[in-house]
Amino acid sequence: MIKNLADLAQVREKMQGKITFRRHNPGTEVTDGNVRKHVLICGGTGCTSSKSVQIKEKMEKCLVEAGIADEIQVVMTGCFGLCALGPIMIVYPEGTFYSRIHVDDVEEIVKEHLVGGNPVKRLLYAETVKGDEILSLNETAFYKKQHRVALRNCGVINPECIQEYIGTGGYLALGKVLNEMKPQEVIDVISASGLRGRGGGGFPTGRKWQFAAAQPAGKKYVVCNADEGDPGAFMDRSVLEGDPHAVLEAMAIAGYAIGADEGYIYVRAEYPIAVHRLQIAIAQAREEGLLGKDIFGTGFCFDIQLRLGAGAFVCGEETALLTSIEGNRGEPRPRPPFPAVKGLFGKPTIINNVETYANVCQIILNGADWFASMGTEKSKGTKVFALGGKITNTGLVEIPMGTTLREVVEEIGGGVPNGKKFKAAQTGGPSGGCIPASKFDIAIDYDNLIANGSMMGSGGLIVMDEDTCMVDLAKFFLEFTVDESCGKCAPCRIGMVRLLELLEKITSGNGEMEDLDKLEELANYIKSASLCGLGQTAPNPVLSTLANFRDEYIAHIKDKRCPAGVCKKLLTYNIDPDKCKGCTMCARKCPASAISGQVKTAHVIDHTKCVKCGACIETCKFGAIYKK
Amino acid sequence: MKKKLTTVAFSGTDEQKKELDELIAQHKDEKGALMPVLQGAQAIYGYLPIEVQKDIALQMGVSLSEVYGVASFYSQFILNPKGDYAVSVCLGTACYVKGSGQIMEKLESLLGIKGGEITKDRKFSLDATRCIGACGLAPVLTVNEEVYGRLTPDMLEGILKKYN
Amino acid sequence: MNTVNVKINNREYAVPANSTVLEAARYAGIDIPTLCYLKDINEIGACRLCLVEVKGARGLVTACVYPVNEGMEIFTNTPKIRNARKMNLELVLSAHKKKCLTCIRSTTCELQSLCNEYGVDEDFFKGRTNHYDLDTSTPYIVRDNEKCILCRRCVAACKNMQGIGVIGANDRGFDTHIASAFEKSLDETSCIGCGQCIVACPVGALYEKDDTAKVLEALADPTKHVVICTAPSVRATIGECFDYAPGTDVEGKMVSAIKALGFEGVYDMNLTADLTIMEEATEFLERMKEGKNLPLITSCSPGWIKYCEHYFPEFTDNLSTCKSPQQMFGAMFKTYYAEKMGIDPKDIFFVSAIPCTAKKFEVTRDHQSAAGVPDVDVAITTRELARMIKQAGIEFRTLEDGKFDNPFDIGSGAGAIFGATGGVMEAALRTAAEVIEGKKLEKLDFDDVRGTQGIKRATYKLGGKEIRVAVASGTANAKRLLESVKNGEKVDFIEIMACPGGCVNGGGQPTQPAVVRNNVNLRELRAKVLYTADKNMDVRKSHENSAVKKIYDEYFGHPGSHKAHEVLHTSYVKRGL
């Protein structure tokens, strides 16, 4: 039980060794008692699904067998970020980075590396091997330009151990706030830091807190939006899985700042590991007296409830999230009144997302100036992005605001694979838009993205190459938002369906040029008239592709052609008679019996029968079948 | 999306009822507890049949319509249980032209249920799905994760037998 | 009154400080169109039709919920706004079953009139629509979800106003629709048939089950004696269907119009309202004497009866066993009058014109057939009666005033006020007071039980005894009152009407668009007709109604007699949920 700052310091001092061991700079001496090495295994969702739990169990077993279980500490951490290379394992103090390891590799690592002292080179991340030299992780392109604030403890600590969190300086910010600062001073620091909401809108966090603090004293709530629902985005999940206490601590600080004694975390039920770790973290924090009554003996009380979503993207919208916590259909409600005035259960409420909270403690500890020194004029600090799509290093990155899109894609992300050309990057998920190659050099921040027809969103960044059809992409996002529209307001409920139908008309070759005007008019109407953020942003994928790739739309309409070769109804499958060997494989595979031809003579596809399933292309060993 | 309603009779046990009552009692004084209660109830019964929703509505003092409104809003709430073995027949174009319609018909007669339904013993449920991308194997069905391709109606009895 | 200064369309106004943009505009004489908004019960900002521009605001502003503030500049009629409204309507139409020519709400449809105003192209958007089966399961309400525009006014009426909630939004996104849990038809739910959803509906998605064909068929049958009896409040509202302002008494024209339709007899239900009082007052005095089944609760409102049976079955023994005035009239007519005139009750086709949809259910209830045939054959709402009059080509507004038929043309003022909340209580008190006190009342107005508030309480000293009475209208208020009684509140006599404000605001009354409902106190205006009629009557007490006296003398003997019980009383069931 931690009753005061001295108790906290005691735990911190005890644990500090372990943490510096894992954060160590090569060349300096570090020790952790009898423990020689720390083996960190990623326990994020990505790596767990490629068996990192089994790897950990095997590792522990092998260490016992090798008789060195006392000397090696095995830690399951949160996400390291380089999900494309999972499962990942890092050995400290040297910082050797193993990637794509298999359960069967564990024995070798124990024997060669942990006992023998020689890293298993064939299992190392190729970029860290330079001849005989093994580089530290921080020297790789993926990590070099990153700056980890929100993710600082992810992949460093055991998220299921509150002591390790305290060892990193955890709960020190809460202690400082409760013992040394007035609520208004806390808000002032957050305001001065320039922190803006990381969930999408980019509203200044300090101002949000100020509104809630200004409400008459009484019951107030602090809510954490962990209903991360954008397809391909997993920033918040990684923070919750890797550093749950950072969120709890920040919520308590927010509670102190606005005068709330209760918090809710609304987390997607699709994130079982995050939920599990949050449950553990809340229980541990209560046990240590860091949540509950009379925290740090200051009389401040704050506790946190966990609420699980049940599969509704719209609940990421703040008012829908509140109605959902209240036990209703997750339908948004009109604002005003804003949650800061009338929120959860009708009480003043602040809602911030996970990543926003993950910045708070660092700002308190390091000061507003430190935070404001990173980033651009109006976008301070760093931002976490989930890189996905046609990019080599799929994974999680945290970069200072103002980093260019090119740096993120080409340097950190390792570029577009298979020699394909970068076509566009989609940010902001279904609410965002596309940044075309011509704007590859824009500095990423809130205002720049909006100026370029996209938005920050929660941080999904999907890269597209020349094989992506932009009309089809817009259709993909619209199918998603149509599915996820709550159905309350008419513009979104009906308008989005009509918008999708127009796209379907175009991608099936029935589009007319007037449809483009209709698309634009309707999309702009839905944006301006919808009740909530979902509807107000859902047409963005259409508008931004229309603005940047209008020629592709026109090709679909006028030439009845899909330039990227994606839209099925506009494609024909053909056999190149020069390449076809007449092996008959394709004819046998074709489900529609659309391919005919004699053995050893070129085959022909009957377009009236072809269902465009692509089975023939997959079958052909000679590359004789093409679509156009 | 329109939620599929169940066609099987309710077969809740006394033990499940006891668990449900405890669950509701535990959440009763909590504000906005309907969601956690529905989540808990689904964990107990595997789905949310009308009998359970009625019970929840009565005990929590809300209307059944409100409970159902919530249950039908969120995609994770299920109103129609899946069988131990979920049989899905691909009705994508490629499979369809290869006769997956007949496959479906045959399965319906073998299992004695229609698409979207579940057998009385809850062993099998039958659904039609969109293209699963195995066009080269058309027509295709899946039983849970297992994929069966190049089907003919006379193969189906044998496939089902594997799960009996 | 605190005011703030705002500019609306560049003109300055001082408007009440706590008003919304919608209210402020109204104050300035500008109607901002709405489809979902109903003051106090449905403020959900869902239809997005009321969007306006406000200088400096981010995006368009939802006028129905957005509060005004000092110096605000509002624009309600810019090209952007007009286009947005037009597109909104075009979208709504694209998902709406456009059977406007034959729709029951044609010309009273709020969507239709807006589409007219905005010059909407009904085929601008084409695309998929959802199919829903028509719900015709109950004898009173038809739901056509293919016409539903999801404004949720019906849901708000059912849940927020009536506290019932047998309908709600199911599923989500484009598939969202209003229905009962598990898509059950309405007859499988605990719907009470009050019809408040119908009068809330801006379009033709909800309407009463039309029974006019049955009436017309009977009228055309020479072997039938087709008679009709109109409820007290119909005369106070039917004028609205013929362009009279709400609150116009059109009794005389109504009677003439009905006669022109070919009914053999046109009677005034005020008579059986008086009869009800005679029976109920007697019942009350008996229960008081025995101290049994108190509080006595009135039984005139069939929506309330069904509500009680579903939601408060523990109170069914407290219900007065008196049939409602409608059923009493039919029962009396087919027994006493048939006997007297030598007509076979089977040849009588008894129609009642009522402000109520629940009465369509009431006629089908058990123990409502005193003469071995149903007491009432068909109950038609005010709206249906108006439709029959229009269809027959009767020029309502030019008709001479007619008079109800003998011998049932006498009603008292007490019977007249049955149509307003508190009216039954007041009528009963007038009679009970004189019976108990044994002398004439000096003041006949029981002001404490008048007015449109949801629950009214009063205590009267009658015969040296304190009588505690309570009046509730709207089932949400009934619920509050009954919960309080369950928790120990002592009451002797309760009047409950299912509809807020009583029958004048019944589910069978003429629909009024939201702009009227939100800005005019319909309940009060309509009730005033009844109280004015009462005031101007010679006879204002049920027991002084000579026709009532005659009926007792000739047939029933005295109130509460065995025969009266056989004909005029009924029984209830405990339905539960």
Is residue B62 assigned to a domain? yes
Residue of C nearest to B65 (CA): C181
* Main-chain dihedrals φ then ψ at residue A289, nearest 5 degrees: 80, 15
**List of chain A residues whose C-beta atoms are within 8 Å of the C-beta of residue B32:** 325-328, 345
Band the pLDDT of B1: cuts 50, 70, 90.
Answer: low
Check whether C391 has a pLDDT greater than 70. Answer: yes
Residues B155 and B128 occupy one common structural domain = yes
The DSSP symbol for C56 reads T
**Exposed / middle / buried, residue A180 (Cβ in 10 Å: 0-12, 13-18, 19+):** exposed
More confident residue, B96 or C125: C125
The DSSP symbol for A190 reads H
Architecture of domain C3-77: Roll (3.10)
Q: Name the residue ranges covered by the structural domains of chain A.
A: 7-140, 169-372, 382-465, 470-558, 572-627
Report the pLDDT averaged over residues A409-421.
92
Identify the three-state secondary structure at position A72: strand
pLDDT, tens digit, 9 for 90 and up, residues C295-345: 999 999 999 999 999 999 999 999 999 999 999 999 999 999 999 999 999
Strands (E), A446-535: 460-465
Q: Is A493 on the interface with C (CB under 8 A)?
A: yes
Which tokens is C94 given?
A: 């694209």
* Domain covering A169-372 in this structure, CATH number: 3.40.50.11540
Is residue B4 assigned to a domain? no
Parallel, antiparallel or unpaired: strands C465-473 and C493-497: parallel
Check whether B93 has a pLDDT greater than 90. Answer: no
**Exposed / middle / buried, residue A578 (Cβ in 10 Å: 0-12, 13-18, 19+):** exposed
State the nearest Cα–Cα gap between B12 and chain A, in angstroms: 23
More confident residue, C358 or A93: C358
Rg of chain C over Cα atoms, rounded to whole angstroms, equals 25
Residue of A nearest to B133 (CA): A613
Domain limits for position B26? 14-71
Residue of B nearest to C132 (CA): B2
Check whether C59 has a pLDDT greater than 80. Answer: yes
Of A311, A328, A591, the CB nearest to B98: A591
**List of chain C residues whose C-beta atoms are within 8 Å of the C-beta of residue B79:** 182
Do residues C458 and C446 lie in contact, with contact meaning Cβ atoms separated by under 8 Å?
yes
The DSSP symbol for A204 reads B
**List of chain C residues whose C-beta atoms are within 8 Å of the C-beta of residue B73:** 169, 171-172
Which tokens is C444 given?
A: 């006949």
Give the number of other Cβ atoms within 10 Å of residue A598's Cβ.
Answer: 9
Band the pLDDT of A515: cuts 50, 70, 90.
Answer: very high
Interchain CB distance below 8 Å, C174 and A485 = yes
Interchain CB distance below 8 Å, B3 and C577 = no
Do residues B63 and C159 lie in contact, with contact meaning Cβ atoms separated by under 8 Å?
yes
Check whether C443 has a pLDDT greater than 90. Answer: no
Of B53, B65, B72, the CB nearest to C171: B72
pLDDT, tens digit, 9 for 90 and up, residues C420-442: 999 999 999 998 888 888 888 88
**List of chain A residues whose C-beta atoms are within 8 Å of the C-beta of residue B98:** 591-592
Q: Considering chain C, tell me which residue range(s) the CATH 3.10.20.740 domain(s) occupy.
A: 3-77
Is residue B8 assigned to a domain? no
Interchain CB distance below 8 Å, B65 and C166 = yes
pLDDT, tens digit, 9 for 90 and up, residues C164-190: 999 999 999 999 999 999 999 999 999
**In chain B, what is the greatest distance between 2 CA atoms, to the nearest angstrom?**
57
Check whether A29 has a pLDDT greater than 80. Answer: no
Q: Is C180 on the interface with B (CB under 8 A)?
A: yes
Interchain CB distance below 8 Å, B76 and A326 = no
Residue A108 contacts by C-beta under 8 Å, 6 or more apart in sequence? A120, A123
Mean pLDDT of chain B: 90
Check whether A27 has a pLDDT greater than 70. Answer: no
Check whether C109 has a pLDDT greater than 70. Answer: yes
Look up the CATH number of the domain holding residue B130: 3.40.30.10
Interchain CB distance below 8 Å, B5 and C165 = no
**List of chain A residues whose C-beta atoms are within 8 Å of the C-beta of residue B103:** none
Band the pLDDT of A25: cuts 50, 70, 90.
Answer: low
State the nearest Cα–Cα gap between B106 and chain A, in angstroms: 20
Domain total for chain B?
A: 2
Interchain CB distance below 8 Å, A345 and B39 = no
Architecture of domain A572-627: 2-Layer Sandwich (3.30)
Report d(CA B144, CA B142) in Å as an integer. 6
Report the pLDDT averaged over residues A360-387.
96
- Whether domain A470-558 has CATH 3.40.50.300: the reply is no
Band the pLDDT of B99: cuts 50, 70, 90.
Answer: confident
* Domain covering A7-140 in this structure, CATH number: 3.40.30.10
Select C213-568's CATH number: 3.40.50.1440, 3.40.50.1780, 3.60.15.10, 1.10.3720.10: 3.40.50.1780
Band the pLDDT of A362: cuts 50, 70, 90.
Answer: very high
Query: How far, in whole angstroms, is CA C422 from its chain's centroid?
Result: 15
Band the pLDDT of C532: cuts 50, 70, 90.
Answer: very high
pLDDT at A40: 95
Interchain CB distance below 8 Å, B50 and C175 = no
Distances (CA, A) of A623 to A577, A578, A626, B12: 11, 11, 8, 57
Q: Considering chain C, tell me which residue range(s) the CATH 3.40.50.1780 domain(s) occupy.
A: 213-568
* Mutate: best of A227, A613, A627, partner B, most B CBs <10 A: A613
Q: Is B69 on the interface with C (CB under 8 A)?
A: yes
Residue of A nearest to C175 (CA): A487
- Least-confidence region, from A200-204, C399-403, C496-500: A200-204
Check whether A2 has a pLDDT greater than 90. Answer: yes
Which tokens is A303 given?
A: 């506790």
How long, in residues, is chain A? 628
Select A382-465's CATH number: 3.10.20.600, 3.40.30.10, 3.40.50.720, 3.40.50.300: 3.10.20.600
- Residue whose entry in the numeric block shows the structure tokens 């009154």: C1
Of C231, C273, C286, which Cα lies nearest the Cα of C493? C286
Report d(CA A524, CA A491) in Å as an integer. 11
Band the pLDDT of A28: cuts 50, 70, 90.
Answer: low
Report the pLDDT averaged over residues A97-113.
93
- Whether domain C124-208 has CATH 3.30.70.20: the reply is yes
Question: How much is the pTM?
Answer: 0.92
**List of chain C residues whose C-beta atoms are within 8 Å of the C-beta of residue A334:** 44-45, 62, 65-66
Sign of CA pseudo-dihedral C262, C263, C265, C267:
negative
- Least-confidence region, from A121-125, A276-280, C43-47: A121-125
Is residue B9 assigned to a domain? no
Of C153, C136, C145, C155, which Cα lies nearest the Cα of C175? C145
Tally C-beta pairs within 8 A across B and C.
52
Which residues 157-216 of A have a C-beta within 8 angstroms of C? Answer: none
Residues B153 and B91 occupy one common structural domain = yes
Q: Predicted ipTM?
A: 0.94
Check whether C204 has a pLDDT greater than 70. Answer: yes
Distances (CA, A) of C412 to A622, C312, C409, C493: 100, 33, 10, 22
3-state secondary structure string, C301-354? Answer: CHHHHHHHHHHCHHHHHHECCECCHHHHHHHHHHHHHHHHHCCCHHHEEEEEEE
Q: Is A485 on the interface with C (CB under 8 A)?
A: yes
Tally helices (H) and strands (E) across chain A. 26, 20
- Which chains, if any, share at least 3 CB pairs under 8 A with chain A? B, C
Mean pLDDT of chain A: 93
Check whether A150 has a pLDDT greater than 80. Answer: yes
- DSSP string of A255-303? HHHHT--EEEEEE-TT-HHHHHHHHHHHHHHHHTTSSEEEETTTTEEEE
Rg of chain B over Cα atoms, rounded to whole angstroms, equals 19
Report the pLDDT averaged over residues C492-499.
96
Distances (CA, A) of A323 to A222, A228, A319, B85: 15, 17, 6, 36
**In chain C, what is the greatest distance between 2 CA atoms, to the nearest angstrom?**
79
Do residues C7 and C13 lie in contact, with contact meaning Cβ atoms separated by under 8 Å?
yes
Q: Is A334 on the interface with C (CB under 8 A)?
A: yes
Report the pLDDT averaged over residues A364-381.
96
pLDDT at A24: 64
- DSSP string of C361-417? HHTTSTT--TTSS-S-SEEEEHHHHHHHHHHTT--GGGPPP--PPTTS----HHHHG
State the nearest Cα–Cα gap between A602 and chain B, in angstroms: 20
The DSSP symbol for B119 reads -
- DSSP string of C96-119? S---GGG-TTTTT-HHHHHHHHTT
pLDDT at A26: 62
Distances (CA, A) of C162 to A509, B61, C166, C194, C332: 52, 16, 10, 9, 33
Q: Considering chain C, tell me which residue range(s) the CATH 3.30.70.20 domain(s) occupy.
A: 124-208
Interchain CB distance below 8 Å, B39 and A330 = no
